[in-house]
Amino acid sequence: MVLPDSYLQALLLAFVSMICWGSWANTKKLTGDYRFELFCFDYAFGVVLATTVAAFTLGMFGFDGLLFTDDLSVAPKRNLFFALLAGVVFNLANMLLVAAISIAGMAVAFPVGIGIAFVLGVVLSYVLNPQGNAGFLFGGVGLVCGAIVVCSLAYQELARVRSIQKISEGKAKSTRVKSGWKGLIVSGVAGILMGFFYPIVELSKAGGVGPYTVAFFFGIGVFVSTIVFNVYFMNLPIEGEPIGPKQYLRAPNVYHVWGVLGGIVWAIGGVSNFVAASAPPEVQVGPAISYALGQGATMISALWGVFVWKEFAGGGAKANYLLAIMFLLFICGLTLVSLAPVFAPPLQP
């Protein structure tokens, strides 16, 4: 299997993960009002396609550990089940995250949802495999928690300002100001579920199971569970009217292309992250740190949402001020997490 042979290579893979995980959601924005349930079919196909290609290419070369096909024959069934389960848990969380993007936008769904996942994932991954300076790691987690709170306040302010504008323009009859809690709640539930998928990935790698094998079964879990979960979401939607398979078939071909591309981009980030966390011990960034850097995607996606998609346009000075504080807290938190391996305590003899 192709694995990094230096700390710099492992760190670069973690940053690739961060860019991909923070950018794939642009493909959902590019599909306009394409329902998230339908988008997720294409997205899941993109994930399983990319993880399969990675397993049968990068997983079949190199001299570090077993080849992918060898790994399949010796890997415990329990570990493969955990890889599938990780894909299922992640997929439910991600489907809710895509729903939250449709409701509240990338600049809200990612900081709240992925921020919560960041906190849970770092803590649980550190418990399972403690690496790095705990003070730096958990100090960074605390700052990210603060950023989540500030992002929620910014979104509430945006919802308040827009409701007042609609009332003043005569577009809304009610004088009740819309709170915008729905998008925050869906984002929060997605984040809680998302926080558990990476520790399950770590369980699947126990005993030396390779990252490409884990990614392969992870992708299968995503693809199969999409069919199951969408039976619920299409008939009892989070937002809008129930829909059927006909709407998927009638969608423009370009929407399907964007959905598949979104899954491929996420999978590139996912495989990069799994591989970075599976590097040899002497160059490994560690699963907690690799996961944390991957969640720097929060900032990437928020930047896309604020500056490219203009999701906070018209939110007013207070909302912009809160957004600036959110970015600052996130950057400081991620910086502390990135420095955790540099200031790790020496190993006990």
- Print burial letters for 274-290: b (CB count within 10 Å at least 16), e (below 16): bbbbbbeeebbbbbbbb
Geometric angle at alpha carbon 67, from 63 and 69, rounded to 5°: 165
| Per-residue pLDDT reduced to its tens digit, 171-201 | 655 544 445 688 889 999 999 999 888 889 9
Residue 215 has which token pair? Answer: 């990614």
Q: Are 20 and 266 in contact (CB under 8 A)?
A: yes
pLDDT for position 124: 78
| Per-residue pLDDT reduced to its tens digit, 79-129 | 999 999 999 999 999 999 999 888 888 888 888 888 888 788 778 778 877
DSSP classification of residue 313: T
| Per-residue pLDDT reduced to its tens digit, 303-348 | 899 999 988 888 889 999 999 999 999 889 878 877 777 787 775 5
Which amino acid, one-letter code, is at 4?
A: P
Spatial distance between the Cα atoms of 99 and 96, rounded to a whole number of angstroms = 5
The residue behind tokens 């693809």 is 223
Which residues have C-beta within 8 Å of that of residue 118, sequence separation ≥ 6? 141, 144, 195, 291, 292, 295, 298
Which residues have C-beta within 8 Å of that of residue 272, sequence separation ≥ 6? 13, 14, 16, 17, 20
Spatial distance between the Cα atoms of 152 and 148, rounded to a whole number of angstroms = 6
Spatial distance between the Cα atoms of 261 and 278, rounded to a whole number of angstroms = 26
The model's confidence at residue 149, banded by pLDDT at 50, 70 and 90, is: confident
| Per-residue pLDDT reduced to its tens digit, 2-36 | 888 888 888 889 889 989 998 999 999 999 889 99
Q: How many helices (H) and strands (E) does the chain have?
A: 15, 0
pLDDT for position 175: 46
Spatial distance between the Cα atoms of 25 and 107, rounded to a whole number of angstroms = 11
CA distances, 124 to each of 146, 175, 270 (Å): 19, 45, 18
Which amino acid, one-letter code, is at 177?
A: V
| pTM for this predicted structure | 0.85
| Per-residue pLDDT reduced to its tens digit, 243-290 | 999 999 999 999 999 999 999 999 999 999 899 888 887 777 766 666
DSSP classification of residue 283: T
Geometric angle at alpha carbon 308, from 302 and 314, rounded to 5°: 85
| Per-residue pLDDT reduced to its tens digit, 199-244 | 899 889 887 899 999 999 999 999 999 999 999 999 999 888 999 9
